[in-house]
Amino acid sequence: RRYGFHGTSHRFVSKRCIELMGGVENAHRVIVCHLGNGSSLSAVKDGKCQDTSMGLSPLAGVPMGTRAGDIDTCVAQFIMNKYNMSADDCLTMLNKKSGVLALSDGVSSDFRDLDAAAEKGNEAAQLALDKFAYEVRKYIGAYAAALGGVDCIVFTAGVGENSGSMRASICDGLEYLGVKLDAEKNKLRGEEVIISTPDSKVTVWVIPTNEELMIAQDTAAHGSSHAHHGHAEQVHMLLHCQGCAGNGKGHRADQFKIKLKTGIVIPPVYNSITIPRPQGKIYP
């Protein structure tokens, strides 16, 4: 089974893209690129996710900060034999010490550091950036084939929202699909904006993700359905930021109270929801 992992973000961003395009009739085929410390792409047809690059675990897909992304399965066997490693140690290495961190010879898993190092002439950092862009571009091509074309490409998450140079590097070579970036618009970051030219066949968007809002909306919908069935009158939700997850009292990102019609049973499952990252985080 493919779990997908950034599903909340993909869903929020693809819905928002369809809304901004004025309806699904203008955005039949959307490719969402969630590029952050962890990265994944999804292919969305008529508002429904058809494919996603992460799999049973988040290791699959494009290379990431520290995850290798797709590899030949035999690589694991090769590494285990060569370095006398257990399967667990090998998987830990592929999850935590690989990706752009390893490709850059240990410079960093953070794309800002890689940009800075590459600018100073560090070839390994440049290789890591180029390889990342290449693999994302390959997935876009694969998903365009799977969807029978593409109407919109959307960039989101830390790298996707903030790095114009990475977006340009990914789109460089997608002209055959009808992608034409507007170099000036592509300098913008962290806001909802079309970064393709008016005559580009594919509309390329930057849409900041809002996983917290999506979780809140989903939970509210779930809460209302419970209420509808007479289970709850009020559903309280506390959203905790990930850094505080688990201690039960960390700082509260947001609070929701939903007043419903019948009964006053508050299912404990609604008391606390862990969110992936604090809302409105500003990147320098």
Q: Which residues bind ligand AMP (CB under 6 A)?
A: 36-38, 65, 110-112, 115, 157-159, 162-163, 277, 283
Q: Quick one: which of 38, 36, 80 has its CA closest to 55?
A: 38
CA dihedral 168, 275, 60, 152 (to 10 degrees): -40
Q: How far is the CB of 148 from ligand AMP (least distance, A)?
A: 30
Q: How far is the CB of 236 from ligand AMP (least distance, A)?
A: 28
CA distances from 18 to 8, 28, 163, 207 (A): 16, 8, 23, 11
Nearer to ligand AMP, 70 or 110 (CB): 110
3-state DSSP call for residue 238? strand
Q: How far is the CB of 237 from ligand AMP (least distance, A)?
A: 23
Q: What is the 3-state secondary structure (H, E, C) of 162-223?
A: HCHHHHHHHHCCCHHHCCCECCCHHHCCCCCEECECCCCCCEEEECCCCHHHHHHHHHHHHH
CA distances from 118 to 88, 124, 225, 244 (A): 33, 8, 52, 34
Q: Quick one: which of 279, 41, 60, 277 has its CA closest to 160?
A: 41
Q: How far is the CB of 111 from ligand AMP (least distance, A)?
A: 3
Q: Quick one: which of 164, 137, 169, 165 has its CA closest to 153?
A: 137
Nearer to ligand AMP, 157 or 235 (CB): 157
Q: How far is the CB of 231 from ligand AMP (least distance, A)?
A: 35
Nearer to ligand AMP, 65 or 69 (CB): 65
Residue nearest to ligand AMP (CB): 158
Nearer to ligand AMP, 1 or 281 (CB): 281
Q: Quick one: which of 232, 231, 233, 253 has its CA closest to 242?
A: 253
Nearer to ligand AMP, 164 or 223 (CB): 164
Q: How far is the CB of 160 from ligand AMP (least distance, A)?
A: 8
Nearer to ligand AMP, 61 or 65 (CB): 65
